[in-house]
Chains A and B, each alone.
Chain A
Amino acid sequence: MLSADLFVRLERRARRVRGASWAATAGAAAAILAFAALLATALWAPASAPVARTALAVVPAAAAVLAYILGRRPRPPLPVLLLAVDERLGLEARLSALYELTQHPGPAAFAARIAADLERLAPHWGRGIPVGRRPLALTAAGALLLVAGFALVPRLGSLPSPTDAPPSQAAALASESAAAEPSDVPLEPEGGRADDLGEPSSRTAALPGRSTALRDILAELRPLGGASGSPSTSRAESEPEDAGLRRDLERLSERLDRAPSPLDEAEKETLRTYVAETSPERQSEVDDAVAASDLDALRQTIHQLLAEAAPGDTIESGSSVSHLAPEAGPSASAEGEPSSRPAPLTPPEPGSELAGAGTLGDGSALPPGSTSSEPPPVFESSEVGVLPVSPPSVLGESGAYSEYLTLGVPVEPPQAGETAPGDVAFNFDQIDSVLSGRDVPDGAVDTIRAYFERITEENP
C-alpha cells in the first residue's frame, strides 16, 4: 500500500536533492575560484600560501553549506516534480494522476487502480528525483580541483611564509640544519642578522634557487659530521668538560691558598686529570710535586696552569670577538646563554662603535670585564676555538652555568667608502687557515668555502 505521505516525502527528497545540487554547484564554483587563488598565491604571493590553503578548504565548504540551505528552502512545484518523477521512472503519469485525484477527489475506483498499478510497478522513488547534469559535472570538476589543490599544498607548504619561513637565508639554513640533526651550531643567532646580511624574508622567498643551493651545501656537510664527528660538535662536547676541570683546579688552588695541607687522593686525581687534558708535557713535573708533597711547588704549578689559561680572560671580555664578530657571539653571552654559535659574518660598519668593539651589534652591553676603550685583539688562526667565559654566570635559582664564546671566521672589514653598510668581504685564505686550525675535514672545507662563496655572491 502506498504511503499516505508519499508526496510529502518526495517533496522533501526533492528539496534535499536540490539543496545538494545547489551545494555541489556552489561548492564546485568556489573550489574553482579558491584553486585559482591558490595558484595565483603560489605564483605571486607565496607569503599568503597558508591563507590560500585555508581558503581552499574553507571557502568551498562554506559555499556548499550556504547553497544547500538556500536550495532546500523553496518548495518545488509538486505537479512538475511529480511529472518529472513519472518520466524518469516510466510511470506514465500515474503518480501525477494520483496526486491530482488527492487534490480534486474523483472516483475512488480510479485512485485505487492507479495506486495498485504503482504498487505493482514498485518504483524506486529515490531515483525519480531529477538531478541535472551540470551540478554533477561541476561537482566532478570541483572535486578534481580540490584533490589537485590539496596535492599541491605540500609543494606550496615548502614555500616560506610569514609564519613558518625563516626571515633570512642564514636562518633558513639554520632551521634546515636543525631539522636535519640537532645541532648546537646554529648558523643564525639573531633574527636581526637578516637585515645585516641584506636578506629580507621576502627576498629570500623569492630566491628558492639560492636557498636550494645553500641547502645542498649543508647536505654535503651532514655526512661528514655524522661519519667522523663534526669538529664543532666534538669541541662543543669537550668545552663543558674542560671548564669543569678548570673550576676544580681553581677550587683546589683556592683551598691551598686558604689552608695549605697535603692533597688528598681526589685532589691529586683532579690535578692529574687537568694536566693530562691541558698540559701533558708537564705531567712529570706535576707528578713529582705531588709525590714530594711540596705544597709551594704545587701551588706554583697550579697557578701556572691557571695562568696558561689566562688568555680566556681576555677573550671573555668580548672585545676580541667584537672585532671579528661584533654582534652574535657577545650578544649571546650577554644574554646569558651557553653560546657555541659561530661568529657572525658581518663586519662592523666603518666608523661605528662596533669597529671599536664597545657595544654589541644589537646595542647590548658587553660582558663584564670588557672595556670599550681597549683595542680589539686580533686572533691568529691558532687562537680560534671555544673559550669559556669566566667567572661563571648565575641564572636565578639554576645556579652557575658555563658560558662560552666561539671565535668567528675572520673577515676583512671593508674600507670606508668602498662598500655599502652590511657588505661583507671575505678573505678565503684566512678562512682556510681558520678551518684547518679547527680540524675541519678536508671535504668539509671545500663545502664551507662554497657556502661563503655562495652568500658572497649575494653580497659581492
Chain B
Amino acid sequence: MTTEVRLEEAQKTFERLERAVAQVIVGQEPVVRSTLIALLCRGNVLLEGVPGLGKTLLVRTLAHALGLRFSRIQFTPDLMPADILGTNIIGESGGARRFEFSRGPIFAHIVLADEINRATPKTQSALLEAMEERTVSVGGTTYLLEEPFIVLATQNPIEMQGTYPLPEAQVDRFLLKVNVPFPSLDELVRITTLNTESSAIVFPSAVASADDVLAARTVVHQIPVALGLRQFAGRLVLATHPDSADAPETVRNYVEYGASPRAAIALVRAAKAHAFLSGQVHVRPADVEAMFLPALQHRIILNFRGEAEGVTPSSILAEVWRKVPVA
C-alpha cells in the first residue's frame, strides 16, 4: 500500500472517529482532539477538570469507537501498585502448582487513571514504566503492553485535600495536559437531553481498529517538519527558562524551572499529529501554536512568587508565544 493511499485512508478513518465520538461527547472538541493526538503520537494525556465533565465517558466512547480494550482505575490513597500492574498468584496446571501472573487493569489499550493524584506516589510511580516504556515488570518478568496503549489520567484541580500531587518526573511523561472546560449553555442543554430522554447512553460502534491506529501512527511519523519550525519549537522551549536570553520578563519573574527537552519532542510530535488531523501533510506554524500550550503547560514549574501571585503557566506560555517569533 502506497503512502498516498495510507495517508488518505488514515485521515478518513480519524475523521470518522472524531464524528463518532462527537455523537456521545457534547462539545469538548479540543479535548477529543488532544486525546486522538496522544493516541497517534504514542503518548499519554493528563486531563484536568472538575468532576462530572465527561472525562470517563470520553475515554469509554473512544474505546468503543476504536474497538479497543478499555480499563478504568479509580485511584485512591490505599491503592497499591499491584492493583494496577497485576500480581503473581499460585495456580494449578496439570496437577502442578506454580506462580502465574495475573494481569492488572494496566493491560488494556486505553487506561483511564481516574483522579490519579489521590493515590500515593508509590502507586503513581507504578505507572511510569507502563507510560514510557510500554512494559510492566513484575517479579523479575517484563511484560509488553499491547499497542496501541494510552493512559488517560484525570485529576481534580480544586479538591486538593488528601491528594498527592504528581511528581515532576511523572508529569513530564504525559505528552499533553488538557484542561477540560466547563460546557457552555447550549452544550449543557444537549447533554441534559442526551442523558434524560434516552434510556441509556448508546456508545458508537467501532469505526476503526488497532491496526488503523498503528497505520496512522506511521503516516504521522512521516509528516515532515521543517528545520525552521523545529528550531522555532526549540526556541519556544528555551524561552521558558528563566536564565535564557530570550526569556520574557514573566518567565524570569515567575518560573523556577522551564520545560524539559522532552517538551520540545512532545511539541513537534503533537504538531505532526495535529497537522494530520487537520488534513495536512506538513506541519504548519498553526499546528505548533495549537499544541504549544497542551505540550508545555504541565512542564513549567513556578517559583514561590509565581505561586503566591497566582500566576498560571498558561499565561506565562502565552507571553512566551508572543515574544518568540516564528522566523
Query: What residues of chain A have their CB less than 8 Å away from a CB belonging to chain B?
Result: 79-80, 82-84, 86-87, 92-94, 96-101, 103-104, 106-110, 113-114, 130
Do A87 and B224 form a contact, CB below 8 Å, given A92-B286, A110-B282?
no
A79 and B3 within 8 A (CB) = no
A107 and B228 within 8 A (CB) = no
A83 and B327 within 8 A (CB) = yes
Which residues of B lie under 8 Å from residue A101 when comparing CB positions?
224
B contact residues, total (Cβ < 8 Å): 22
CB closest residue in chain B, given A85:
B327
Which residues of A lie under 8 Å from residue B228 when comparing CB positions?
79-80, 82-83, 86, 93, 96
B3 and A97 within 8 A (CB) = no
Q: How far apart are B270's CB and chain A's nearest CB, in angstroms?
A: 16
Let me know if B2 is at the binding interface, CB within 8 A: yes
Q: How far apart are B5's CB and chain A's nearest CB, in angstroms?
A: 8
Let me know if B138 is at the binding interface, CB within 8 A: no
Q: Is the interface of A mostly helix, strand, loop or mixed?
A: helix
Q: Return the contact of A109 from the options B2, B227, B229, B327 (Cβ within 8 A).
A: B2
Measured between alpha carbons, how far is A108 from B4 in the docked complex, in Å? 8
CB closest residue in chain B, given A91:
B284
Which residues of B lie under 8 Å from residue A98 when comparing CB positions?
282
Which residues of A lie under 8 Å from residue B231 when comparing CB positions?
79-80
Q: How far apart are B326's CB and chain A's nearest CB, in angstroms?
A: 6
Q: Return the contact of A110 from the options B222, B229, B326 (Cβ within 8 A).
A: B222
B282 and A97 within 8 A (CB) = yes
CB closest residue in chain B, given A104:
B224
Q: A92-B286, A93-B226, A99-B226 are in contact. List 20 more A-B contacts (CB 8 A).
A: A79-B227, A79-B231, A80-B231, A82-B228, A83-B226, A86-B228, A86-B327, A92-B285, A93-B228, A93-B282, A94-B282, A96-B228, A97-B226, A98-B282, A100-B224, A107-B4, A107-B7, A108-B3, A109-B3, A110-B3
Q: Return the contact of B222 from the options A83, A84, A87, A106 (Cβ within 8 A).
A: A106
Measured between alpha carbons, how far is A446 from B3 in the docked complex, in Å? 106
Q: Would you give the 0/1 interface string for B6-18, flagging 1 where the beta carbon is closer than 8 Å to chain A?
A: 0100000000000
Let me know if B225 is at the binding interface, CB within 8 A: yes
B229 and A93 within 8 A (CB) = yes
A97 and B225 within 8 A (CB) = yes
Do A110 and B226 form a contact, CB below 8 Å, given A83-B232, A84-B327, A86-B327?
no
Q: How far apart are B132's CB and chain A's nearest CB, in angstroms?
A: 27
Let me know if B281 is at the binding interface, CB within 8 A: yes
B227 and A96 within 8 A (CB) = yes
Which residues of A lie under 8 Å from residue B151 when comparing CB positions?
none
CB closest residue in chain B, given A105:
B224
Q: Would you give the 0/1 interface string for B213-257, flagging 1 where the beta carbon is closer than 8 Å to chain A?
A: 000000000111111110110000000000000000000000000
A106 and B326 within 8 A (CB) = no
Which residues of A lie under 8 Å from residue B7 when comparing CB positions?
107, 109-110
Measured between alpha carbons, how far is A149 from B17 in the docked complex, in Å? 72
B3 and A107 within 8 A (CB) = yes
Do A83 and B326 form a contact, CB below 8 Å, given A93-B285, A109-B7, A110-B282?
yes
Q: Return the contact of A96 from the options B222, B226, B286 (Cβ within 8 A).
A: B226
Measured between alpha carbons, how far is A114 from B224 in the docked complex, in Å? 11
Task: Please list 26 pairs of residues, one from A and one from B, whose beta carbons are closer than 8 Å in the complex, sorted by A's number.
Answer: A80-B231, A80-B327, A82-B228, A83-B228, A83-B229, A83-B326, A87-B285, A87-B326, A87-B327, A92-B284, A92-B285, A92-B286, A93-B283, A93-B284, A94-B282, A96-B229, A97-B224, A97-B225, A97-B282, A97-B283, A100-B225, A100-B227, A100-B282, A109-B7, A110-B223, A114-B281
Q: How far apart are A78's CB and chain B's nearest CB, in angstroms?
A: 9
Measured between alpha carbons, how far is A104 from B281 in the docked complex, in Å? 15
Measured between alpha carbons, how far is A97 from B281 in the docked complex, in Å? 9
Which residues of B lie under 8 Å from residue A104 when comparing CB positions?
224
Q: How far apart are A14's CB and chain B's nearest CB, in angstroms?
A: 12
Q: How far apart are B9's CB and chain A's nearest CB, in angstroms?
A: 12
Which residues of A lie under 8 Å from residue B2 when comparing CB positions?
109
A114 and B327 within 8 A (CB) = no
CB closest residue in chain B, given A109:
B4
CB closest residue in chain B, given A84:
B327
Q: How far apart are B290's CB and chain A's nearest CB, in angstroms?
A: 13
Which residues of B lie under 8 Å from residue A110 when comparing CB positions?
3, 7, 222-224, 281-282
Measured between alpha carbons, how far is A94 from B225 in the docked complex, in Å? 10
Q: How far apart are A102's CB and chain B's nearest CB, in angstroms?
A: 10
Q: How far apart are B271's CB and chain A's nearest CB, in angstroms?
A: 10
Q: How far apart are B325's CB and chain A's nearest CB, in angstroms?
A: 9
> B7, B223, B227: which has the most chain A beta carbons within 10 Å?
B227
Measured between alpha carbons, how far is A419 from B268 in the docked complex, in Å? 97
A100 and B226 within 8 A (CB) = yes
Measured between alpha carbons, how far is A261 from B62 in the docked complex, in Å? 150
Q: Return the contact of B281 from the options A86, A96, A113, A130 (Cβ within 8 A).
A: A113
CB closest residue in chain A, given B230:
A79
Measured between alpha carbons, how far is A80 from B230 in the docked complex, in Å? 10
Measured between alpha carbons, how far is A229 from B4 in the docked complex, in Å? 102
Closest 9 CB pairs of A and B: A96-B226, A83-B228, A109-B4, A97-B282, A107-B3, A79-B227, A84-B327, A83-B327, A92-B284
Q: How far apart are B227's CB and chain A's nearest CB, in angstroms?
A: 4
Measured between alpha carbons, how far is A96 from B3 in the docked complex, in Å? 21
Which residues of B lie under 8 Å from residue A97 when comparing CB positions?
224-226, 281-283
B226 and A79 within 8 A (CB) = yes
Measured between alpha carbons, how far is A114 from B279 in the docked complex, in Å? 12
Measured between alpha carbons, how far is A104 from B227 in the docked complex, in Å? 11
Which residues of A lie under 8 Å from residue B223 when comparing CB positions?
110
Q: How far apart are B1's CB and chain A's nearest CB, in angstroms?
A: 12
Do A82 and B4 form a contact, CB below 8 Å, given A93-B284, A97-B282, A109-B281?
no
Q: Return the contact of B224 from the options A84, A106, A130 (Cβ within 8 A).
A: A106
Measured between alpha carbons, how far is A110 from B4 in the docked complex, in Å? 8
Which residues of A lie under 8 Å from residue B229 when comparing CB positions?
83, 93, 96
CB closest residue in chain A, given B227:
A79
Measured between alpha carbons, how far is A79 from B327 in the docked complex, in Å? 9
Q: Would you give the 0/1 interface string for B39-70, flagging 1 where the beta carbon is closer than 8 Å to chain A?
A: 00000000000000000000000000000000
Which residues of A lie under 8 Å from residue B225 when comparing CB positions?
97, 100
Which residues of A lie under 8 Å from residue B222 when comparing CB positions?
106-107, 110
Which residues of A lie under 8 Å from residue B227 when comparing CB positions?
79, 96, 100, 103
